[in-house]
Structure 1
């Protein structure tokens, strides 16, 4: 699937991040970046179905699990038009965007990794997750400290410097309640990213993170509806 050619293209794009260069090299992008990414996504569909049936592997070239190569520069001082990494997200079937609960894989020359959880959830979803941890700290600790999860995954992301409003500073889970992101990261080496066992490895890592996703997507106690943290 992915190869040295994938990373060579990303390196060259970083050095020539302009529309004219990308237009000239679009066929290379499609051959060594997009095609292997879509193959990987398609291969992950039956894997996810086995242990995470509510998460979708969508191999469409646009609008699916492969994140856009184009950067959104509307509100950024950085006007470079293209991302220099491959981003793939398998989000919950009810999720609407990258802030939804899901699994993630990141490929770049400066580092590759797997991700799982919710990155920058919207205020309502964030409040719900914090309330769930506050109300069920032991259940949260069981997920966070599960040996199969902690063997490869580390919780990461941003946190508040102070307890959020409505939460006591002495709560036993206050360090986690202060989180603004509920994501785990697991390392992925270059050899693994370009190896034949990538699909199997991704499935193993994501399956180990499933308790985290289950906790984040628990039904809302008030409505009884599924909460994809979206």
Structure 2
């Protein structure tokens, strides 16, 4: 995978964020996209080899569109400043997200503002055995890698059906249950980047399994 070519393309795209430039450089875009899909295919195979519950996600199924959704975000530019993809992308669960951008790159996973039904399922799981999730979050290597849960909107008080003095009230008040590890594009260019992805995937796996079991059982 030629990540430098990918980053060069993204830099040029952000300087010329319009359909005319994209149309004129469609061959370059396809070259970069196909290269990324090929790399995702490689990671898909390697992750499946270390996780017996892995959901097969070929690159073409995992990669996200480079176009921003202007219907919901009309003020955003036409094209994103990154390539993103989900691996281990089982329907209706939280995948392992990979983002390669100009400045910010990221490994992330979990559930971003899940719908009310899935959010209730997560809270019910925490009510039942929240100490298990807390144990995962408190693990030294996990905290070093991700810091903690992704900071997002929280309820001021306990959610409906739970008391403010609940043992795990701080977890229950969350609306997003996700973690992320951000790094610069310089890290992507290192020879051991693939190994880094696998290492972070392993570290995140117990967290993702906890959440995915909660929303699928």
Q: What's the TM-score, normalizing by structure 1?
A: 0.85
Aligned partner (choices 167, 172, 176) of residue 177 of structure 1? 172
Matches within 5 A, 1:159-198: 159-162=153-156, 163-198=158-193
Q: Structure 1 residue 66 and structure 2 residue 59: aligned?
A: no
Matches within 5 A, 1:129-144: 129-144=122-137
Aligned-partner SS, 1:80: coil
The match for 2:77 is: 80
CA RMSD in angstroms comes to 1.9
Q: Given that residues 87 and 105 in structure 1 are in contact (C-alpha distance below 8 angstroms), is that contact kept between their aligned partners in structure 2? A: yes
The match for 1:204 is: 199
Could you tell me which runs of 5 or more consecutive residues in structure 1 were left unpaired when the two chains were aligned.
221-225
Segments ≥4 residues shifted beyond 4 Å: none
Aligned-partner SS, 1:136: helix
**Partner Cα separation in structure 1 for residue 113 and residue 68 of structure 2:** 18
Q: Which has the higher helix share?
A: 2
The match for 1:101 is: 94
Aligned-partner SS, 1:76: coil
State how many pairs are aligned: 214
Q: Structure 1 residue 214 and structure 2 residue 209: aligned?
A: yes
The match for 2:119 is: 126
Q: Given that residues 45 and 56 in structure 1 are in contact (C-alpha distance below 8 angstroms), is that contact kept between their aligned partners in structure 2? A: yes
Q: Given that residues 107 and 181 in structure 2 are in contact (C-alpha distance below 8 angstroms), is that contact kept between their aligned partners in structure 1? A: yes
**Partner Cα separation in structure 1 for residue 183 and residue 46 of structure 2:** 18
